[in-house]
A and B are shown apart, each in its own frame.
Chain A
């Protein structure tokens, strides 16, 4: 795969489901886009418009009705270690200590115990959780557990990271901190990120590109060329505000 080739291709993907009253509904209608290595793509949209469905399809957790998803030119048949996922819901295993959680993916891949612990501790240091490696998840705050989730996924070193509104349930300050933690890790590791959010500011703060999903269709696919680091001041510049208004219009808020 050359750097110009897409790492992820979503080709005319459609997803149907049946409502509780028996009527069919389309969550995604022939969605197509490509993601290139190192991009930080934010999938933006309102609740119920298909962005989480899209992420689950890429993760291999949901089957498509039509179309195809390809990762590194191989069709997606199910979940796999090449696509790390951070869910909105707290998924950190409560029966494993923090460092065991971070080392989980490595255990699946049969790394030696010594190597697992070395990598887990290294990644705990990256998210500033060195001192809680032997703690149980119930002893941590929600923000710290979110850091554990980030460390777990990065420790497994997947080429693609999928995040489904991972900071949606956190308070503003913690959310901002974690956005920067994730952004810094992305810059250092040059991974490809697909990040679902309903927050326009979050998309502008993090993304190199924003894809707006509305009623199961892509209505906007735009590169974000704002300078980094993306502080509030950068978003408040005329180009930043123009982008913000455009995205708000596209998701149907203005």
Chain B
């Protein structure tokens, strides 16, 4: 079958003249935008440290230490910190405490996120399910962590499960809302078009609903991950067998400002790194967005 483009104005008639370049300017512009975004992030971090340094130089060391002091504290206590052993944390350093916290955050997020994505997308399509899900989410979402965390401690005790459950619960609530919105935001024209090709419900879920919701769900997952760090540390401060929250509690009792700031820096750095990893993953699986 041979086809010739109809005659028309020379500047518009032939798409071949410009179609060879399709994608290249878009990719270049995108790469430039991302580079600027990364530079802005580093600029923001640099500005934060500059302000911190400036404030520390004006305040006594008992109130605020410099970023360099906090860095030295991390260096000397990362593998083993004798002062933490006094508070019953055993022979630990920031490193092993971080692993405990990170493990709980990722486990809680994996469990809660999976449940949230599944329930959220399903409830966006099934009205009957939404009748049950929406009130539950509303109630759970309005229960303050300050109330839920002590209750969980009383019910389940000072065990890792308590913190994981707290993170999983709030992650699930957030991801239900994000996923529900993502599924509802897909333009119905895509499903209608798929149906005209003979695509059944299962095929449409796999090829329309899932890929179409991925960018928004990953965006929600990044916000949920940031919240999960706060929840986990808070739950650990209230009561946990290990974790950086417990270190913060111990260092507060010791009035150790450099140690406290060291914990904050460790948590913030790990949170940023995990967020960047999630962002990179998002770029790989939703390159079209």
Instruction: Give A residues with C-beta under 8 Å from B.
Output: 59, 61, 78-81, 83-85, 87, 89-91, 93-97, 104-105, 107-109, 122, 125-129, 131-132, 134-140, 143-144, 147, 156, 173-174, 176-177, 180-181, 184-185, 188
Contacts and interface: CB of A to CB of B under 8 A. Distances in A.
B271 to A, nearest CB: 29
B203 A94 contact: no
B23 A81 contact: no
Contacts of A109: 198
A131 B22 contact: yes
Contacts of A138: 26, 288
Contacts, number: 119
Contacts of B268: none
A93 B23 contact: no
A217 B227 CA distance: 59
B16 A128 contact: yes
B12 A177 contact: yes
B193 interface: yes
Given A91-B193, A105-B198, A184-B6, A135 B23 contact: yes
Contacts of B20: 131
A94 B20 CA distance: 20
A128 B12 CA distance: 13
Q: Which 4 A-B pairs have the closest CB atoms?
A: A81-B198, A180-B6, A105-B197, A91-B193
Nearest to A174: B12
A139 B16 contact: no
Contact of B286 (A85, A90, A95): A95
A79 B198 contact: yes
Contact of A85 (B3, B16, B26, B193): B193
A95 B212 contact: yes
Q: Which of the listed residues B1, B20, B22, B286 has the most CB atoms from chain A within 10 Å of its own CB?
A: B22
25 contacts: A61-B192, A84-B197, A91-B192, A91-B193, A94-B288, A94-B289, A96-B211, A97-B288, A107-B207, A108-B194, A108-B197, A126-B1, A126-B3, A131-B19, A131-B22, A135-B23, A138-B288, A139-B22, A156-B197, A174-B12, A181-B3, A181-B5, A181-B6, A184-B3, A188-B1
B190 interface: yes
Interface in B186-243: 187, 189-190, 192-199, 203, 207-208, 211-212, 214
Given A79-B196, A108-B203, A181-B5, 15 more contacts: A59-B196, A61-B196, A79-B198, A81-B196, A81-B197, A104-B194, A127-B3, A128-B15, A132-B23, A136-B287, A176-B8, A177-B6, A181-B6, A184-B3, A184-B4
Q: Which of B1, B26, B192, B198 has the most CB of A within 10 A?
A: B198
A105 B198 CA distance: 8
B60 interface: no
Interface in B1-49: 1, 3-6, 8-9, 12-16, 19-20, 22-23, 26
B1 A144 contact: no
Contacts of A147: 15
Contacts of A127: 3
A125 B5 CA distance: 11
Interface centre among A126, A127, A131 (most CB of B within 10 A): A131
A87 B189 contact: yes
B105 to A, nearest CB: 29
A75 B47 CA distance: 69
Given A108-B197, A181-B6, A131 B12 contact: no
Given A81-B197, A126-B1, A176-B8, A93 B16 contact: no
A144 B196 contact: no
Nearest to A143: B15
A145 B13 CA distance: 15
A135 B22 contact: yes
B288 A136 contact: yes
Contacts of A136: 23, 287-288
Contacts of B26: 138-139
A109 B197 CA distance: 9
A224 to B, nearest CB: 19
Contacts of A93: 190, 193, 207-208, 211-212
A180 to B, nearest CB: 4
Contacts of B4: 184
A173 B197 contact: no
Interface string B170-196: 000000000000000001011011111
Contact of A91 (B9, B19, B190): B190
Interface string B130-149: 00000000000000000000
B16 A131 contact: yes
A93 B191 CA distance: 10
